[in-house]
Amino acid sequence: MWIILRGKLPGKLALFKSVNCQPICNLCHQHYRSIDHLFIQCECSKALWFVSPLGITTEFMHDAPISFVELIKSIIMHGDNETNKLIMTICNEIWFVRNKRCFEGIKVPDPVVSLRRACKRSNSTIILK
């Protein structure tokens, strides 16, 4: 998480140059990849945020664009420990699925299945919808 918040996660072109992947989001195959796209704009990520107990929708960002880093910093500053842990769990799952898709070619899992797996992996006791 600290890598993301410090802007050190490789973006679309840097990552494209370093690994054998296209500069297009490998989750939706519809947009150029970027940190903002991967974590908040991609339909696959949106579904994961929405099915979480947080029920976050990112549609509001079309009117008042905010970067993923700004959004996460804001939530973490005002959230409790369980909320922050869930946010980190979801971010970790998005990154996990992205890597599995990119390097192993897996299908993007159902968001509920993905979230359950993420919570189990992080030993979270969060009750899912």
Amino acid at 61: M
The CA distances from residue 25 to 16, 19, 45, 75, in Å, are 11, 14, 11, 25
10 or 53, CB closer to Zn ion?
A: 10
Question: Least distance to Zn ion from the beta carbon of 95, Å?
Answer: 13
Question: Which one among 1, 4, 15, 28 touches Zn ion, defined by CB under 5 A?
Answer: 28
Neighbours of 110 (CB within 10 A): 12
47 or 126, CB closer to Zn ion?
A: 47
Q: Alpha helices, DSSP H only, in 1-129?
A: 2-5, 12-18, 35-36, 43-51, 68-78, 81-104, 111-121
By CB under 5 A, residue 42 contacts Zn ion: yes
Binding part of the chain for Zn ion, among 12-20, 21-29, 58-66, 107-115 by CB under 5 A, reads 21-29
Record the tokens describing residue 76, joined without a space: 């973490």
Question: Which one among 9, 21, 27, 51 touches Zn ion, defined by CB under 5 A?
Answer: 27
By CB under 5 A, residue 97 contacts Zn ion: no
Which residues here bind Zn ion, judged by CB under 5 A?
A: 25, 27-28, 42
